[in-house]
Amino acid sequence: MPSAKIFYDSDADLSLLEGKTIVFLGFGNQGAAQAQNLRDTGIPNDKILIANRPDSYADDAKSKGFIVENDIAKAASVADVIFLLIPDQVQPRVFNDVVQSTLKDTATIVVASGYNVFFKLLQFKPTQDVVMVAPRMIGSSVRSLFVKGQGFPCFASAEQNGTGKALEIAVALSRAIGATKAGAIASSAYEETAMDLFAEQALWPNIITLFREGFSVLKEAGCSDEALCYEMWMSKEPAEIFERAAEDGFIAQLKYHSVVSQYGQLSGALALDGVAVREHFKNILHNQVLNGKFCKEFSKIEADLEKDGYDNPLNELYRKTEETELVQAEKRVRARLADLIKSGQQ
Ligand code: NAI
Same domain, 66 and 109: yes
What was the pLDDT predicted at 46? 98
One domain for residues 53 and 199: no
Q: If we measure between CA atoms, which residue out of 30, 27, 35 comes closest to residue 51?
A: 27
pLDDT digits (tens, 9 = 90+) for 177-196: 999 999 999 999 999 999 99
In tens, the pLDDT along 137-171 reads 999 999 999 999 999 999 999 999 999 999 999 99
Task: Report the pLDDT value the prediction gives residue 1, as an integer from 0 to 100.
Answer: 63
Cβ neighbours of 156 (radius 10 Å): 27
Residue 210 covered by a domain: yes
- 118 with 141, same domain: the answer is yes
Give yes or no: residues 28 and 147 share one domain. yes
Does ligand 1 have an atom closer than 6 angstroms to the CB of 112? Answer: yes
For residues 228 and 172, membership in a common domain is answered with no
Instruction: Note the Cα 165 to chain centre separation in Å.
Output: 26
- List Cβ neighbours of 44 (8 Å cut-off, separation of 6 or more): none
Provide the CATH number for the domain around residue 92.
3.40.50.720
Domain boundary residue, one of 154, 187, 220: 187
Parent domain of 301: 193-344
Domain assignment present for residue 119? The answer is: yes
* DSSP secondary structure letter of residue 345: T
Q: How does pLDDT run across 301-346, given as a tens digit for each residue?
A: 988 988 999 899 999 999 999 999 999 999 999 998 887 777 766 5
Instruction: From 128, 161, 187, give the residue that closes a domain.
Output: 187
Site to substitute for ligand 1 among 23, 30, 140, most atoms within 8 A of C-beta? 30
345-to-76, 147, 172, 234, 341 alpha-carbon distances in Å: 44, 25, 40, 10, 7
**Residue 303 CB-density burial (10 A; 0-12 exposed, 13-18 middle, 19+ buried):** exposed
Q: How far is the CA of 84 from the centre of ligand 1 (A)?
A: 8
Task: From 63, 74, 85, 185, give the residue whose CB has the most ligand 1 atoms within 8 Å, as the site to mutate.
Answer: 85
The domain boundary residue, chosen from 148, 168, 187: 187
71 lines ligand 1 (CB under 6 A): no
* Overall domain count for the chain: 2
Residues 179 and 259 in one domain: no
- For 16-121, where are the E strands, in sequence order? 22-25, 48-51, 67-69, 81-84, 108-111
Q: For residue 1, tell me if it sits in a domain.
A: no
